[in-house]
Amino acid sequence: MTDVSQKIQDMIDASDVVLFMKGTKEMPQCGFSSRVAGVLNYMDVEYRDVNVLADGDVRQGIKDFSEWPTIPQLYVKGEFVGGCDIITEMTLSGELDQLFDKSGVAYDKEAAKKIREANA
């Protein structure tokens, strides 16, 4: 494992939910990162944000690590879940709720319901 891969693995292992994104959860710097961070923030999920713009090695390294070409990338309990489109679909279908329930990740169930109702 390369130094960058080990650094990424350590970040993923250190938190139940990790979002590799452009910018931060308080100030996303692309629309896709903003959408995923917005969902997690609205659902009151405790997560670690990793700003890939602050570290070029991590920016490329996470793509190699996951074999997924785009950012953002969401990890839950060490498992790669997906990017913006997948997280959006999972949120609207209720699959994200199920994943959080199964993984023991706390979130606001009413907020998740409101997202689905607003997009029905």
Helix count and strand count (H, E) for the chain: 6, 4
What domains, with CATH codes, occur in the chain?
3-118 (3.40.30.10)
Nearest-angstrom CA–CA distance, 1 and 4: 8
Encoded tokens for 85:
């489109």
Q: How confident is the model at residue 2 (pLDDT cuts 50, 70, 90)?
A: confident
30-68 pLDDT, tens digit each = 999 999 999 999 999 999 999 999 999 999 999 999 999
- CB-CB contact of 52 with 21 (8 Å): yes
The whole model's pTM is what? 0.96
Contact call for residues 15 and 47 (beta carbons, < 8 A) = yes
Q: What token pair was written down for 101? A: 């329930």
